[in-house]
Amino acid sequence: MNKIIKKTEFSSVVTELVVEAAMIAKAARAGHFVIVRADEKGERIPLTIANADKEKGTISLVIQKIGNSTQKLCALNEGDFIHDIAGPLGKATEIENLGTVVCACGGVGAAPMLPVATALKAAGNRIIAVLAARSKDLIILEEQFKAVADKVLIYTDDGSYGCKGLVTNGVEKIILSEKVNRCEAIGPAIMMKFVCLLTKKYEIPTEVSLNTIMVDGTGMCGACRITVGGETKFVCVDGPEFDGHKVDFDEMIMRLKSYN
């Protein structure tokens, strides 16, 4: 069992839990995720590691209340225990000095993007972050990104904070103003699809971190399968990051609707 050390409520629907997990923290790298069960009879859900503190032996999980399991996790408090956390899983982000990297974040996608942006900055890249959400209360980790990125742009669907518009508006604004060497996109599937359509138009390599349905996280169940470049891949072991221009997003979105 893993003890909750700190709880922060970013909004009424988004919560951060800092949890004791020394072995996971020691091995975790940007892009890794974990499989979490809130209680003994709970379902297994994948969550990206938003931060890992090797010295303190803790990891940070940012959770959006969507279904029963995420509501259970968000209801836990400091001092409570998560039944089990397995990880780190998946392949870590490939970090190299590329030049200018745009980090496009949709909603809680900002959480898994933060360690990626931090690692890319440490490798010598210029980082421009675009934080986008439906409204101001869903913009998270703004100050943390400002501490890492060279520039931060904020967009909200309703115009309640930053510029009114979508994440693609921010990405295109950057592309038209300076040379971009790579784009990283994390957020809802539909958001990543349109970011990739945009960057493909401008021939900018784009990596996406996919959030498919997942059960075991070890490649055995096949629930997370997707099509990338015409080949079947498993997000849990082959990803979660892929070349966004090769992902069949329409198929992925259709599969995500299986339990709606």
Q: Is a pLDDT exceeding 80 seen at residue 58? A: yes
Distance CA 5, CA 78 (A): 5
25 membership: H or E segment, kind and range: helix 22-27
Class of domain 2-89: mainly beta
> For the chain, what percent of residues have pLDDT higher than 70?
99
pLDDT for residue 43: 86
Residue range 237-255: average pLDDT?
94
* Domain ranges, ordered by start, for the chain: 2-89, 100-256
Query: Residues 144-155: pLDDT tens digits?
Result: 999 999 999 999
Q: Is a pLDDT exceeding 70 seen at residue 80? A: yes
Q: How confident is the model at residue 117 (pLDDT cuts 50, 70, 90)?
A: very high
pLDDT for residue 205: 97
The answer as to CATH 3.40.50.80 being correct for domain 100-256 is: yes
Distance CA 28, CA 168 (A): 30
Instruction: Please state which of the ranges 39-48, 95-104, 129-138 shows the lowest mean pLDDT.
Output: 39-48
235 membership: H or E segment, kind and range: helix 235-238
Place of tokens 């075991």: 216
Residue range 199-206: average pLDDT?
97
Q: Is a pLDDT exceeding 80 seen at residue 260? A: no
Distance CA 87, CA 176 (A): 40
Q: Is a pLDDT exceeding 80 seen at residue 259? A: no
End-to-end CA distance of the chain: 31
pTM: 0.90
The CA-atom distances, in angstroms, between 125 and each of 18, 202, 225 are 28, 20, 32
Q: How confident is the model at residue 212 (pLDDT cuts 50, 70, 90)?
A: confident
Q: Is a pLDDT exceeding 70 seen at residue 35? A: yes
pLDDT for residue 11: 83
